[in-house]
Amino acid sequence: LAQHNPDALALSAPAIDGAEAATRSDLANEYAKLDRKARQAALSNKFLLLWNQATNCEPLVAEYKFHPKRKWRADFYHQVSNSLIEIEGGTHNGGRHVRPGGYSGDVEKYNAAAALGFNVQRITSDRMTLVNVVTIARSLGVVVTMVLE
């Protein structure tokens, strides 16, 4: 029957039980987390590449925990200017930063950083260009070592 009707295979496949469905759901969630972490790492690497190109490798601290009580971290910390640099990803595909809860959480985080004396610079993933990274560097008082035309 399956040789003549490909749908017969699907109909005859055994049903999965609740535990197996939960395991598949857990795996899907883990893959989604890994995918998100890979995208975040790619954005961080792109920013660092542009930053190092613009500033001749002015030091930054990645994943800087800036709050004494909360688990908040900034993507980068520039110690000389006491500035946090945040990369806002997913701004055009409904990512966390543009959904109501994520946006409100970001506002709380950035206000807390400002209250602690940090300067907060933000850049969206779609605007991550050498020109915009140079603009951030200059706003932090970093000497830019390349000439932009």
SS3 of 33-102: HHHHHHHHHHHHHHHHHHHHHHHCCCCCEEEEECCCCCCCEEEEEECCCCEEEEEECCCCCCCHHHCHHH
Contact 144, 53 (CB under 8 A): no
Contact 113, 66 (CB under 8 A): yes
pLDDT tens-digit profile, the chain (149 residues): 445 554 544 444 455 556 666 677 777 767 666 677 888 888 999 999 999 999 988 899 999 999 999 999 999 999 999 999 999 875 555 555 555 566 788 899 999 999 999 999 999 989 999 999 999 999 999 999 876 65
Q: Which helix (H) or strand (E) holds 26?
A: helix 18-55
Please report the pLDDT score of residue 39 as a whole number. Answer: 82
Q: Which helix (H) or strand (E) holds 128?
A: none
Q: Is the pTM of this model over 0.85?
A: no
First to last CA, the chain: 70
Please report the pLDDT score of residue 12 as a whole number. Answer: 47
Contact 137, 58 (CB under 8 A): yes
Counting Cα atoms < 13 Å in the Cβ hemisphere of 31 gives 6
